[in-house]
Amino acid sequence: MTIFSHKPSGEETAQFAGEGPVRAALATRDWSDSPLGPPARWPAELVTVVNLMLNSRFPMFLAWGPELALLYNDGYAGILGNKHPAALGQRFDVVWAEIWHIVAPIAIDAMAGRSSYYEDLPLTVLRHGEPERASFTFSYSPIASHDGSIGGMYCAVVETTAHVETRHVQAFQLHLSDRLRPITSPDDIIQVASEALGRMTGVERVLYAEVDDERGSFSVRRDWMADEAPSLAGDTGPLASLGQGVVEALRAGRTVIVNDVGSDPLTEGAAAGYLDVEVQAIVVIPLVKSNHLLAVLAMHSAIPRKWTVTEIQMARETAERTWSAVESAHAQDELREANRRKDEFLAMLAHELRNPLAPISAAAELMELAPMNAERVRQTSQVIGRQVRHMTGLVDDLLDVSRVTRGQVTINKLPQDLKNVVTNAVEQVRPMIQARSHHLTLELPPQAAQVLGDENRLVQVLTNLLNNAAKYTPEGGHIKLHMHTDASDVVITVSDNGIGIPAELQPRVFDLFAQAERTSDRSQGGLGLGLALVKSLVGLHGGSVTCASEGTGKGSCFTVRLPRFEPLPQVRERRRHPRGEVGGSNHRIMVVDDNEDAATMLGMLLEASGHEVQVEHRSPEALALAAEMQPGVCILDIGLPDMDGYELARQLRRQPGMAGALLIAVTGYGQESDRRKALDAGFDHHMVKPVDAPRLLRIVAERSQAPA
């Protein structure tokens, strides 16, 4: 135990028993400059109160004499911060000069013999070198001297800053939620949240900026500012102008807290930029997703400021709620837009399906009205065929989009020369180009342009781009396909001088169902699926596709980049397994389909091609018929009642004489899994309804001989 004792001759001894920083300071303090004088000369009542105070763990201080000289215990030393130990024995108004204008009336009351009590009183103190907002609960009480006069005052105090700040944060959260709840506009959400934070913290400015991390730039979208602060809304600049330390912290997802931009290492080299816009202290909250800095919410102070835990918590709360509300608003907008586009698509789909149905219906009615000569039958058949092919194309596009978007398309990657792909694509679109009298120019490199890809899908990509150009280019217009290679890619551009792409459509031209404004005649037709398929298929090949247009009436240009394939290895030709030489054309064919109209029409088609055809609509009857007629070809629907086409095929294969029959599955299901299932069941071919008649006839013709 340390004992401080000073006992001059004839004077009372002052003793302060115990240990601790304040007792040590009492022992070493030079009291010559203190209004109190040496402790050995202090009055007994003062020594008694000091000992009571020193032995308490509760923060306490007393101010004694006309000068209110300050004495305190270890608990209060923590509240003093950097003011301890110099404050020991000094005048109260000197020690707490920054708050004396607030506490002086309270001290005067105490020295007049009146006690007081204050709860959670907010004070801005300088105890760590910078202004700091803090809250205290305390009571001032007078201390009587031996003659009955008031010798000083006594204070028990507790700092309640953390408790008060927690209440403030909770109140701010409720306030912010109430303000944001009815708002749906992202810009209004940002504005209201920024204002709420700014007014609560008393800063000069709160701003929301969007960040392009790849380009290293930012753009201030909205800001709220106090009356005297200038707005920064609309300002853009490089991220580097914020300071290297600031940018690194934000990219790492850390909150940036700078009390003074002129002295903080985070803003080293960038302080002048902050001072130009009257900013000397900042708090910046980052929004980072997928390792990319997307946005920031920032508070600006025009003077150096020690940011409190509460202010930082409120800034984070505002940022999180703002981003959550903005994302929710964007999601609602996207849902509304998706719903609008869905309705638009359904309207387009209905229109596109009704168009071919009209001539098909008219052809059917015409055939019922009166006998027709051969020429009229031929014309009617051509009309029906064209319209069915158009409807089939629409359905195929829908299925393709469905498969691609669900990741169910398998790309068979083999070395391909894109020059051959271009040739095949041009052959497919040539009839449309010729019909519209377009001038098509091909610019191909002299050397091979090799990529690793699926030939059919690559042809589909270029066909869609060329069809798109032809569809939206007036008759007699110009279309150009240019190909070249660079260090890593093969680059293909398809350009035209057609109607162009409006600026507002360009950002979503590759989205599903995206089209320019529809006209009542829908002269271009289509469902807006082609470019979405192009983007997906190019992506599956590891490439990219972009579009450019100077606007309506100024044509468009689509650029496809695909990774080059080098060196070109020797590719073995895939083995083919022919069924035999083509023999006679008179085959026995059994058609099984529970749709009587479909079965009848398919049978008539095959009979017209010189084949002997029998039709059944149910599996049991088909098994009996097959045992009797021994067909060399069986064309089976899959969705049959009682027994589906897969099981029918298995049982047909087990019948005597049917092991070598040609089995063809005809179905409305065209997924790769459906094709594999058909082959596993014993089918030789899998065809999707409506049947491609020329292809079916070629498959049948490949039989080496008709069964006896």
Query: Across-strand partners of 417?
Result: 450
φ and ψ at residue 557, rounded to 5 degrees: -140, 125
664, β-bridge pairs: 635, 685
**Where residue 11 falls among pLDDT bands split at 50, 70, 90?**
very low
**Contacts for 594-603 with beta carbons within 8 Å, 24 or more apart?**
594/618, 594/637, 594/639, 594/640, 594/641, 595/637, 598/637, 598/689, 599/637, 602/635, 602/666, 602/691
**Tokens describing residue 316:** 């984070």
Tell me the pTM.
0.45
The string of DSSP letters for 408-463 reads: -PPP--EEEEHHHHHHHHHHHHHHHHHHTT-EEEEE--SS--EEEE-HHHHHHHHH
pLDDT tens string 80-89: 999 999 999 9
Report the share of the chain in percent with pLDDT over 70.
88
Cα–Cα nearest to 294, from 323, 257, 334, 329: 323
Is a pLDDT exceeding 50 seen at residue 98? yes
Q: Is the pLDDT of residue 553 over 50?
A: yes
Distances in Å between the Cα of 99 and the Cα atoms of 20, 111, 234 are: 28, 18, 41
Quick count: other Cβ atoms within 10 Å of Cβ 394?
18
Q: Report the sign of the C-alpha dihedral through residues 197, 203, 204, 205, in that order.
A: negative
Strand partners, 210: 219, 295
Q: Which of 132, 100, 136, 98 lies closest to 117, judged by CA?
A: 136
> How would residue 570 be classed by pLDDT, with cut points 50, 70 and 90?
very low
Query: CA-CA distance, 677 to 669, in Å (whole number)?
Result: 11
pLDDT, the chain, mean: 84
Element (H, E) at 369: helix 309-369
pLDDT (0 to 100) of residue 573: 40
Q: Both ends of the chain: CA-CA distance in Å?
A: 123
Mean pLDDT across the stretch 505-522?
A: 59
Q: Supply the DSSP string of 53-105, one letter for each residue.
A: HHT-SS-EEEEETTTTEEEE-HHHHHHHGGGTTTTTTSBHHHHTGGGHHHHHH
The model's pLDDT over 267-276, given as tens digits with 9 standing for 90+, comes to 999 999 999 9
pLDDT in tens, 115-143: 999 999 999 999 988 888 899 999 999 99
Query: For residue 569, is pLDDT > 60?
Result: no
Spell out the domains of the chain, with CATH numbers in brackets: 5-159 (3.30.450.20), 170-332 (3.30.450.40), 337-394 (1.10.287), 414-563 (3.30.565.10), 588-701 (3.40.50.2300)
Is the CB of residue 68 less than 8 Å from the CB of residue 152?
A: yes
- Looking at the predicted structure, is the pLDDT value of residue 406 above 90? no
Q: How far is it, in rounded angstroms, from Cα 61 to Cα 155? A: 5
The pLDDT of residue 5 is 35
pLDDT at 706 over 80: no
Segment 518-542 shows an average pLDDT of 67
Q: What is the pLDDT of residue 522?
A: 39
**CA-closest candidate to residue 496, choices 456, 538, 553:** 553
The most confident of 68-72, 166-170, 214-218, by mean pLDDT: 68-72
Percentage above 90 pLDDT, the chain = 43
Beta bridge partners of 15: 5
Band of pLDDT at residue 306, cut at 50, 70 and 90: confident
Going by DSSP bridges, is the β-strand pair 685-688/662-667 parallel, antiparallel, or unpaired? parallel
Quick one: 444 exposed, middle or buried, by C-beta within 10 A (0-12, 13-18, 19+)? middle
Separation CA 502–CA 554 (nearest Å)? 10
Q: In angstroms, rounded to a whole number, what is the distance separating the alpha carbons of residues 692 and 13?
A: 118
Residue with the larger pLDDT of the pair 168 and 627? 627
Q: Is 165 a residue whose pLDDT tops 60?
A: yes
pLDDT per residue over 587-623, tens digit each?
899 999 988 878 888 888 888 888 899 999 999 999 9
pLDDT score at 648: 94
pLDDT band at 520 (very low <50, low <70, confident <90, very high): very low
pLDDT at 560: 95
